[in-house]
Structure 1
Amino acid sequence: MNKTELIRAHCKSLKLDGFLQVLEHEDFSATSHDEFLEALLSSQLTLNSERKIKRLTAQAKLKYEDVYLSDIDYGLCPSLKVNQVNQLGECHWVDTNKNVIIIGATGTGKTSLACRFAQEVIAKQQSVMFYRLSHLLLELVAADKEGELMKLLKKLTRFNVLIIDDWGNALMDKNERHLLFELIEYREQKGALLITSQYPISAWHETFGNETIADSVLDRIVHNSHRINLKGESIRKLLAERE
């Protein structure tokens, strides 16, 4: 094995695939050692970043994976403010553990917009997890019955952003609202929430069936949030009319 083959073998052993890409496709015979080293490191960092983003995207379990802020058709979303979208797309709200609440009727693009923001978060190599509220409640109840609630709360708190889709679509029983309160309280100031709902915030109390717990949960969510109100016709209907 000559020196070049030995170097490539070492790169494979150390999983330095970025180094291998440079060694196999570039000619650095006329460059300095510093330039050669910078090219190797830059290639590896780029590859590591791409892999992490791919892993974070798979882990997030987004309802829509191939949607981005850059491809929003504002003609279909007349109530959506470009400046607000761009500002939230910078993800400062994630760094400061604030929340985003997206309100709108069925078909106005709430979930799609949430997934677009999620992609911006992931592009910054921060973690996201997507849940429909009904599925999240099922997991909380199951974990509680199995004595694994704290384990699940810790897991959910590790995500920089927890998306809760379809908030308020069903009344919660006593145990469900207690468990949701536990989650919201446990995550407070440890991570951001991104919530979508068909219902205005003023109607959220009804889904809890308990004024005290509703006040406690909503106080932790609403007063620390950015809000987007989507209005207008169903995007699906508008797209169908275009065809």
Structure 2
Amino acid sequence: MKIGILQTGHMPDEMKDDLGSYAGMFATLLDGNGFDYVDYFVVDGVFPTSVDEADGWLITGSKHGVYEDHHWIAPLEQLIRDIRASGKPLIGVCFGHQIIAQALGGHVEKFEGGWSAGPVTYQVNGKDMVLNAWHQDQVITPPEGAEVYASTDFCANAGLVIDDQILTIQPHPEFTKFFINGLIRHRAPGVLPPQMIEDVSAAIDTPLDDQAFGQMMADFYRKQR
């Protein structure tokens, strides 16, 4: 099965040598499931010519907001609608979660409650799962027909499933503690409140359920539809 990874951002320059690309992080997360991958830097205007170039699709995270005025946002929203019409499975993570919701009629905004960062315990299908978060934007209103399957008190719409074809998640199952540590050093100062930086640093070794969620993603791609 070929997964098309739609990259909506670039790895921070200071972290490229050690961590590679976002697409590579997802390939690592999904390792062992027999998938092949094709990558598109949609953030640079590079799009597939057809939804049939892959059997399933994945939209990554990004430093950008889905409500910002970038030349690639509208074409990405149309691609999302085309993938939905095709019946192919689609997964969105963080920005991917938000842009899917927006493209299908939901509403996203910068959350007035501030940031969520580092290991967070989510209720996922009624069970606790710990995943790394790094976001301020949130899906405030899900699209019509979307079912909320993941949430916290802070982030009510943290995971959506739509028609058993689209799966989205606000936190980052692909983010390891090493990646979060890099963000703390290179991106958090001046962005996150100082106390939050201290708290995230103190919690960096919290065991994660990233592999379990990665298997959920793989199973979602492979399920019969």
TM-score range, shorter chain: 0.3 to 0.5
> Which one has more relative contact order, counting CA pairs under 8 Å at least 6 apart?
1
Q: TM-score, normalised by structure 1?
A: 0.31
Question: Between Structure 1 and Structure 2, which shows a larger proportion of helix residues?
Answer: 1
Q: Which has the larger radius of gyration?
A: 1
Question: Between Structure 1 and Structure 2, which shows a larger proportion of strand residues?
Answer: 2
Q: TM-score, normalised by structure 2?
A: 0.33
